[in-house]
């Protein structure tokens, strides 16, 4: 698989229904499916309710689940025009302002703790990335009440897969809403120019903004403490969404949790050679290269016993001597080049001659291909603890991701079964793990206060900075895995320490890293730690009386 395709796919980049009734939050249940109000409506909202219980770290939680859809429209849509669209059969082609135009039916699964009034219960909106990914990964692997069992560090055997109660569901700290992006999962898009309307940085963020506004109204959660939890591409989405909701809708959020972060795509180590002269991606990826070499016992000399101490050394080398050598460019002398290559080889486990031939610059794909090449193995991208047989032994970069190949079937199979058998949703429908956004996706983004969109590499650091300035009480929790080469952990650290914010607002940001990969929760011990850290973050920031 081409690196660009892997990047687009995984920046990520991964009880039977009862009649609808009042959810446990004591707020109104969405109306049952009804006929479309007029013929300009392309979708009809749906919902089905069920009940269950889960024991989270010793605490039994009874909950009500609602699986359903909300309808959202692209920017510029006028609900008043929709209510009175005018006469004629051509109004669907007149654009959003005429009451027609494209629509998205966004699928969600919400979990409400029973017996907990909405005003005293936080609400967290969760989504994966892609762009164009469903949220099956966070739902079935991290925080939903049921969790699929997968093999840690290796390929999970084929079905039947284990589906167990999730002792680390986030329901102990917050009600949860898992959202599928437009066109992914059970979400659908339709109408003229539907791809342009929903598949792009700003169009996608607007759809999520409208979904959140609709959900708050539908379930009476306007006065609940509010959180965003985005993974992978979900992290730039969160930056754009929280900024837009705070500045455009006057809705302050209590917190934003960023898992496997990338806000500035210039820092992606997937293809930095296409952008010569910009070396920061090599620098911020080096600590993850080092962690991976440490894990696979490829560090030259004696293997350090303390991973965190070793990574502190690697970080210091990355932003010190290594960064200085790269910045020297053609002025770097042969003696110093040799010395840097030897030290780099020590940390990341690749041969010194190879590093000299690569001009000291190693992309993610090159590292994944080379680290275990002598064993005929490709190292994982989403999680470098994983490895699999080389597809093409002669290729320069990796041809696939062993971690994605090792886990995807379990997640997708488990959710299809769970949704239909326990949530009661999905009969006659196809679940789409990923929307085919590739050739349609627009990375052009209009940063806050900018007169127009910027066509260069996506950078939403200004969006998050504006959100923190507008709401100085907003708290941000940054999380990631040491073995993640899709969004290296030090890249996220670097971004947050370079936000254009006053220094005192840096105190609003906290960091938690785990010995796992992009999908931190794929390792059970890391899942428990992620749960405990996230639950604690929500309890400390929800402004409720404890």
Q: Are 399 and 390 in contact (CB under 8 A)?
A: yes
The DSSP letter of residue 118 is G
Report pLDDT for 42. Answer: 87
Closest CA to 192 of 105, 106, 91, 107: 91
Q: What is the pLDDT of residues 305-356, one digit of tens each?
A: 999 999 999 999 999 999 999 999 999 999 999 999 999 999 999 999 999 9
Report pLDDT for 2. Answer: 40
What one-character-per-residue DSSP string does 477-503 give? EEEEETT-SSS-HHHHHHHHTT-SS-G
Report pLDDT for 86. Answer: 53
CATH topology classification for 15-266+408-541? Rossmann fold (3.40.50)
Q: What is the CA radius of gyration of the chain?
A: 23
Report pLDDT for 455. Answer: 72
At residue 190, does pLDDT exceed 50?
Answer: yes
SS3 (DSSP) at 388: strand
Q: State pTM to two decimals.
A: 0.91
At residue 89, does pLDDT exceed 90?
Answer: no
Q: What is the pLDDT of residues 406-432, one digit of tens each?
A: 999 999 999 999 999 999 999 999 999
Report pLDDT for 38. Answer: 47
Whole-Å CA distances, 2 to 250, 390, 395, 396, 439: 42, 14, 11, 11, 14
- Per DSSP, what are the bridge partners of residue 481? 514
Where are the CATH 3.40.50.1820 domain residues in the chain? 15-266+408-541
State what percent of residues in the chain have pLDDT above 90.
82
Q: Are 146 and 416 in contact (CB under 8 A)?
A: no
Q: What is the pLDDT of residues 289-310, one digit of tens each?
A: 999 999 999 998 888 999 999 9
Q: What is the pLDDT of residues 476-485, one digit of tens each?
A: 999 999 999 9
Q: Are 105 and 425 in contact (CB under 8 A)?
A: no
At residue 513, does pLDDT exceed 60?
Answer: yes
Q: Specify the residue for token string 């990631």.
A: 480
Report pLDDT for 41. Answer: 75
Q: Mean pLDDT, the chain, as a whole number? A: 90
Tell which wins on pLDDT, 75 or 54: 54
Report pLDDT for 83. Answer: 60
Write out the two tokens for 513: 């890293």
């Amino acid at each position: 698989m081409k690196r660009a395709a892997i990047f687009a796919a995984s920046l990520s980049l991964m009880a039977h229904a009862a009649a609808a009734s009042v959810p446990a939050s004591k707020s109104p249940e969405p109306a049952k499916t009804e006929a479309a109000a007029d013929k300009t409506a392309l979708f009809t909202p749906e919902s089905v309710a069920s009940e269950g219980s889960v024991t989270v770290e010793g605490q039994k939680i009874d909950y009500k689940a609602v699986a359903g859809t909300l309808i959202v429209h692209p920017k510029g849509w006028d609900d008043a025009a929709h209510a009175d669209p005018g006469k004629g059969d051509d109004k669907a082609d007149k654009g959003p302002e005429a009451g027609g135009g494209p629509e998205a039916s966004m699928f969600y699964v919400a979990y409400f703790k029973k017996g907990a009034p909405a005003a005293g219960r936080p609400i967290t909106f969760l989504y994966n990335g892609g762009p164009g990914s469903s949220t099956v990964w966070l739902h079935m692997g991290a925080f939903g009440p049921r969790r699929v069992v997968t093999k840690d560090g290796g390929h999970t055997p084929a079905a039947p897969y284990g589906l167990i109660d999730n002792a680390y569901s986030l329901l102990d700290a917050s009600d949860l809403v898992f959202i599928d992006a437009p066109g992914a999962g059970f979400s659908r898009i339709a109408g003229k120019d539907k791809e342009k309307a929903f598949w792009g940085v700003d169009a996608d963020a607007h759809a999520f903004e409208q979904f959140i506004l609709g959900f708050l109204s539908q379930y009476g959660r306007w006065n609940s403490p509010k959180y965003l939890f985005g993974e992978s591409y979900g992290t730039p989405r969160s930056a754009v969404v929280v900024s837009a909701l705070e500045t455009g809708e006057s809705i302050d959020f209590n917190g934003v949790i960023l898992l496997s972060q990338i806000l500035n795509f210039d820092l992606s180590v997937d293809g930095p050679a296409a952008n010569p002269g910009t070396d920061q991606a090599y620098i911020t990826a080096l600590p993850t290269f080092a962690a991976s070499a440490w894990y696979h016992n490829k560090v030259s000399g004696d293997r350090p016993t303390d991973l965190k101490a070793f990574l502190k050394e690697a970080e210091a080398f990355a932003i010190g001597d290594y960064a200085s050598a790269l910045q020297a460019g053609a002025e770097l002398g042969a003696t110093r080049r040799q010395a840097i290559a030897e030290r780099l080889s020590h940390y990341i486990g690749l041969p010194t001659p190879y590093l000299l031939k690569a001009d000291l610059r190693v992309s993610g794909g090159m590292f994944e291909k080379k680290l275990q090449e002598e064993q005929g193995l490709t190292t994982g991208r989403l999680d470098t603890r994983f490895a699999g047989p080389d597809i093409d032994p002669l290729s320069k970069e990796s041809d696939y991701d062993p971690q994605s190949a090792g886990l995807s079937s379990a997640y997708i199979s488990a959710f299809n079964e769970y949704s239909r058998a326990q949530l009661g949703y999905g009969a006659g429908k196809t679940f789409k793990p990923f929307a085919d956004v590739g050739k349609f996706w627009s990375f052009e983004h209009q940063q806050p206060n900018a007169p127009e969109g910027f066509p260069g590499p996506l950078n939403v650091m200004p969006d998050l900075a504006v959100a923190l300035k507008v709401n100085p009480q907003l708290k941000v929790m940054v999380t990631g895995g040491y073995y993640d080469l899709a969004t290296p952990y030090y890249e996220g650290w670097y971004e947050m320490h370079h936000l254009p914010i006053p220094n005192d607002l840096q105190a609003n940001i906290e960091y938690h890293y785990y010995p796992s990969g992009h999908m931190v929760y794929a390792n059970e011990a890391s899942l428990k730690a992620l749960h405990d850290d996230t639950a604690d973050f929500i309890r400390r920031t929800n402004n409720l009386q404890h």
